[in-house]
Copies of this chain bind each other. A is one copy, B any other.
Amino acid sequence: MLAKSPNGIPAYRRIEGAIRKVIEAGELKPGDVVTSERELARVHDVSLMTARQALVSLEREGVVERRRGVGTFVAAPKIHFNKLMSYTEQMGSRRLTAESKILFAKVIDNEQDATARLSISPKSRVLKLERLRHVAGEPFALETCYLSAEQFSGLLSAPLRTASLFSTLERDYGVELGYSDEEVDATMADPGMAELLGVPKREPLLRIRQVIYSTKGVVILYVLGLYRSDRHNLLIRRYR
């Protein structure tokens, strides 16, 4: 009957956060036992069900693993399979720096394919952003993004060279990115792509067409990416 927070962060979220914190601080390593339900309830002065909710939630996210009759343990280092991440984020997670060169950044119209993918009217104006991505000084991908020009007017004046497009959308436009549907196939480099990517023409490239949705299921972004197959591997985990 004490210290509730009806208008603030739910208790179970606070407990989750506290546990996350000690794990991220390295005070608990994978395999280490995590404070039990009853202990958490006592320490945080909540009921068992509430403490439990925190642990169940962490388990669902793969942060901890629970074993009946034994306890709750820090889960193995999580591998980010099937995570929607921007190029900048992907490079960051591998401790590489993202570099990219903007080849094209304008508002255009009459882009039938792009408007269709974005689920907007065919005559809508579209913001097209074409970038050459580098890793370790070597070009490895050609990415073309399309966004609704109406919805993201002013994006072109953002510091796209240095800031991540994802973080700009999330921070400056309040967009919550949720998931993406991707279509993957193989194609051949035409002379233009080949020169940009520094590979022989007719080189096989991985082509990924990515439609990115907000958490509410609204299409935000369409990205067409061409990746050097010798420098890029797509990793997926599937579940039965």
| Residues of A bordering B, CB below 8 Å | 49, 60, 81-85, 177-188, 202, 204-207, 215, 229, 232-240
Q: CB-nearest residue of chain B relative to A176? A: B240
Which 8 A-B pairs give the minimum distances between C-beta atoms?
Answer: A186-B186, A186-B204, A204-B204, A184-B234, A84-B238, A186-B229, A84-B240, A182-B236
Q: Which of A81, A185, A188 has the most CB of B within 10 A?
A: A185
Give the contacting residue for A82; candidates B60, B188, B207, B237; CB below 8 A: B237
Residues of B near A186 (CB, < 8 A) are 186-187, 204-207, 229
Other A-B pairs, 15, CB within 8 Å; known A185-B206, A204-B204: A49-B49, A81-B181, A82-B82, A83-B238, A83-B240, A84-B238, A179-B238, A180-B237, A181-B235, A183-B233, A183-B234, A185-B233, A186-B204, A186-B205, A186-B207
If the complex has contacts A187-B229, A205-B204, are A182 and B237 also in contact, measured as CB distance less than 8 A?
A: yes
Q: How far is the CA of A179 from the CA of B158 in the complex (A)?
A: 41
If the complex has contacts A202-B202, A204-B204, A204-B205, are A239 and B185 also in contact, measured as CB distance less than 8 A?
A: no
Residues of B near A188 (CB, < 8 A) are 204
Is the CB–CB distance between B229 and A185 below 8 Å? yes
Q: How far is the CA of A202 from the CA of B178 in the complex (A)?
A: 38
Q: How far is the CA of A177 from the CA of B240 in the complex (A)?
A: 7
If the complex has contacts A60-B60, A185-B229, A229-B185, are A82 and B202 also in contact, measured as CB distance less than 8 A?
A: no
Q: Could you jot down 19 A-B contacts, CB within 8 Å? A: A49-B49, A82-B236, A82-B238, A83-B239, A84-B238, A84-B239, A85-B240, A178-B239, A179-B239, A180-B238, A182-B234, A182-B235, A182-B238, A183-B235, A184-B233, A185-B232, A185-B233, A186-B229, A204-B204
